[in-house]
Chain A
Amino acid sequence: MRRAKASTGTALPDRLGLSKHSFWHTLWQQRQLAFMSVPMLLYIFLFNYFPLWGWITAFMDYKPVLPLLENKWVGLENFKWLFSRPEFLGAVRNTFAMAAINLVFGFVFPILLALFLNEIRRTRFKRTVQTVTYLPHFLSWVIVVGIAQTMLSSTGAINQLLVSTGIVSRPVFFLGEGRYFWWLVGFIHIWKECGWNSIIYLAAMTAIDPGQYEAAEMDGAGRFKKMWYISLPGIRSTFMVLLIMNIGYLMEAGFEIQYLMGQNVVMDWSQTIDIFALKYGINRGQYSRAIAAGIFKSIVSIALMTSANFAAKRLGEDTLL
């Protein structure tokens, strides 16, 4: 460093009289690195921040035919309208309910699967199970919903099983009864994503020092004790990081599955904020109201994310932010 300085003469920050610990000084020192990050910053600015300019239409009575700034300003009118609509409040409720079910299921089932797989000693069997369980992840939602609809129809396999074993007398109307909808979404998510999500826990478990298991065995710990006292604490930090990330995505209860499977009969239970925004924005041309719904969703997401991060900090865990 000293030699470089000597050969190039006085460095720019010194000539500008900046102190050695100032931001600009550090920036100058890391100028090559900073330069390399410029394209990424530009990308994020252009495609993630710049479009937020369009948010101002949430405070307008926006008509696409007029130039943006010639639209009428209406203040918070669109937000007031949103919160006076039972339909929107229902959408918020549905979003939270399905997201919460997905969140809980999305941790419980993959971790269970990973724990069980971790106990299997035959590698070939383990690999096969792993592959079979994560393959549905690669199916598109259209196909998954198609399969689900066929399985769940009144003549589908599940109803035939239920009727033939005498559990129910008439086929259950899975797809047309609102109260089943949230749980169906939860279970279909599990069917599709459980195997895929378990991979990361399985990877975390393989990083646990086998010596710990051996020591526990010496102390007389059985399989379940080992799971409880070694495997689970071993994936604790992975779990926390994923939890914080997933809480940030809590408002993303999913769009495609509700869109594809939510028939009119179950609308009161299936409509999420995203579908509400699509319906009002793109279908009915009420762009301002749709954007207002989107803004509400973003703000709640950010709030959730920061509070989860804060909570994790208090619990003495690694944080993301």
Chain B
Amino acid sequence: MKKTLLRLVLPLMLAVMMLPALPLSVVAEEALTVTVFVGEPRDQPTSDNKVFKMIEEEFGLKFEFEFLAGDLNETLGVKIAGQDYADLMDGGNYAEKLIEAGAFINLMDYISEEETPNIYQHVEPYLKRLLNEDGELFIIPNYGRYYNTEDYPMNYVNGPAFFLQKKVLAWDNYPMIKTMDEYFDLIERYVAANPTNEQGQPNEGFAILCEDWRAFCLFNPVQHLMGRPNDGDVIVDIDDNYKTEAYCIQDYAKHYYQKLNEMFHKGLISQDTFVMNYDQYLAKISSGTVVGMFDQYWNLQNGNDALRAAEMFDSTYQGLPLIYTPEQAGKEVEEHYLNGTVINVNRGFGISVNAEHPERLVQFMEKMLSDEWQKMIWWGIEGEDYYMEDGRFLRTYEQIQDAANMVWRNKNSAYVLTNSMAKKQGEMDDGNKWDPMVQPECYFLQMNDYDKAFLEAYGMQRPLDFFNDPIELAPYGEAWQIDVTVDQDANDAKLGYQDVQRKMLPQVIMAAPEEFDAKWDEYVAAAEAVPVSDFVDFMQESILELVEQVTGN
């Protein structure tokens, strides 16, 4: 009896134990799960996301995302210490750390004209700039590869500018503000006449974000006032054999910080601005009380969008390209905030050494770079997300609103993945723009009436029209892209220099007017003691090397 029972039960038990194993092995053959790390806080796409479904059907790939929670630099540090890499890694602004730690495979082993024609065609013109000394490529840039066009890629300026609430310009009857002095003078007059905003909250003349790496709001203005586009912490003199210097400790920088010192003592800059974090900054902007600031548009965009969502259109910002007067700069300055299009070196996905099927991932990237999939990435599905008329790609107002809506996107777009992947920008072969928000029809359709009237008062069509045309990109690209982590002394000097700036520039700005000069000298001495020259020398050398690589002389 006992034996028969055992005979009956045993196979049953075995079968039960096998059960969970069975479907798993079937799935494994069907779809490969790819782990992805993205160095930005985002939402998970929904499980019924239509684009990810199409990707799974076509490529047999499923994606498991880890998005940033907390500090990117620390998160990557922990991952490196534990060699705990996802298959695809986007290290954002700290990708160099991953490269330095050997986290990525060399993509050049997989890229060739025959195997991956799309990728090859995509990177080929920029290989000199993209490959490192050993001829390796770890990341295919996510942005900055333009096809068929030389224009500035947007209708507004996404980068650096001095921003001012539109109502301030309207209040002063739409003046053309060109210089730093005019700008601060207008802020002073406006705040004197309007101590509070419409909601009765006190207006703050000028805000300066000084937190962590976003402290570029504090460091960067001087190079632009001197008439150069963004090169990061150094300014490069193209006409003087690419002479490189740290601009924030030069005499011409003093004019800017002296102006801020003046503004501080007039009560137009709040002391709290030096200790606020990014969230507090955005909250302040969203409340509509910040009259002006220096920033890059993408950094303040969330605040500006919040104002728009609250229909406080007159409190949204217009970027202004300000320069020094000839006396301040010591020479005649021409405004150059916009640079030629620049390939986004080392930003985007790399394939980590932990990935089991790198060749499949490269092939996936290759197929995604085809025109057919690029249309899907940028525009979506015809009839659902856009429509065609006379060969033009168009969207209705609702479709534009949807595409800007995060909740909609999580369900209907693979944005979280494709944002870090190689993309085509500029124009399709038939003259349509790849980016819907650059397609003029779509841009003007979504523009609100306040903005239209505002621009009309200036006789302009786009916010971009306040700026001069982009200058030709220097052969070295933009100097902030140069990877300093390869040289420990230079890197220490760069970080030390930034620490000195973050610590002492606020003190310079808050110093009593009669102590300003002494405080400034103290600051310059501290920067020189770092020594900042280690960093500048490294940059000078790298820039000259790059120029030689790219131009051949």
Contacts and interface: CB of A to CB of B under 8 A. Distances in A.
Interface of A: 63-65, 149, 153-155, 171, 173, 175-176, 263-265, 267-268, 278, 281-287
A283 B499 contact: no
The interface residues of chain B, by DSSP majority, are classed as helix
A154 B101 contact: no
Given A64-B80, A64-B101, A65-B101, 7 more contacts: A264-B210, A264-B499, A267-B499, A283-B73, A283-B77, A285-B77, A286-B488
A263 B80 contact: no
Contact of A268 (B77, B491, B503): B503
Contacts of A173: 271, 510
Contact of B502 (A64, A267, A287): A267
A265 B274 contact: yes
Interface string B64-105: 000000000110011011010000000000000100111000
**Pairs A-B, 4 closest by C-beta atoms:** A282-B77, A264-B502, A65-B102, A263-B275
Contacts of A175: 272, 275
29 contacts: A63-B101, A64-B81, A64-B101, A65-B101, A149-B275, A154-B270, A154-B271, A171-B271, A173-B271, A176-B274, A176-B506, A176-B510, A264-B210, A264-B211, A264-B499, A265-B503, A265-B506, A265-B507, A268-B503, A282-B73, A282-B77, A284-B491, A284-B495, A285-B77, A285-B80, A285-B100, A285-B101, A286-B488, A287-B81
Interface in B238-273: 270-272
B400 interface: no
A283 B83 contact: no
Interface string B350-367: 000000000000000000
B342 interface: no
B270 A265 contact: no
B233 to A, nearest CB: 16
Among A264, A283, A287, the one with the most B-chain Cβ atoms within 10 Å of its Cβ is A264
Contacts of B491: 284
B185 to A, nearest CB: 24
B485 to A, nearest CB: 8
Contacts of B507: 265
A263 B101 contact: no
Nearest to B267: A170
Interface residues of B, number: 29
B232 to A, nearest CB: 18
Nearest to A63: B101
A281 to B, nearest CB: 7
Contacts of A153: 272
Nearest to A66: B102
A317 B468 CA distance: 79
B73 A267 contact: no
A176 B507 CA distance: 9
B266 to A, nearest CB: 13
A64 B77 CA distance: 10
B74 A282 contact: yes
Contacts of B77: 281-283, 285
A203 to B, nearest CB: 39
Contacts of B211: 263-264
A282 B94 CA distance: 12
A278 B246 CA distance: 27
A153 B275 CA distance: 9
B499 to A, nearest CB: 7
Nearest to B81: A64
A54 to B, nearest CB: 10
Among A65, A155, A287, the one with the most B-chain Cβ atoms within 10 Å of its Cβ is A65
B215 interface: yes
A302 B5 CA distance: 65
Nearest to A260: B277
Among A63, A153, A283, the one with the most B-chain Cβ atoms within 10 Å of its Cβ is A283
B101 A278 contact: no
A230 to B, nearest CB: 48
Interface in B512-537: none
A283 B74 contact: yes
A110 B130 CA distance: 62
Contacts of A264: 210-211, 215, 499, 502-503, 506
A171 B272 CA distance: 10
Interface in B479-496: 485, 488, 491, 495
Contacts of B210: 263-265
Contacts of B499: 264, 267
Contact of B274 (A171, A263, A287): A263
B506 A285 contact: no
Nearest to B212: A264
Contacts of A285: 77, 80, 97, 100-101, 485
A119 to B, nearest CB: 41
B47 to A, nearest CB: 32
A171 B270 CA distance: 10
Among B102, B503, B510, the one with the most A-chain Cβ atoms within 10 Å of its Cβ is B503
A287 B81 CA distance: 9
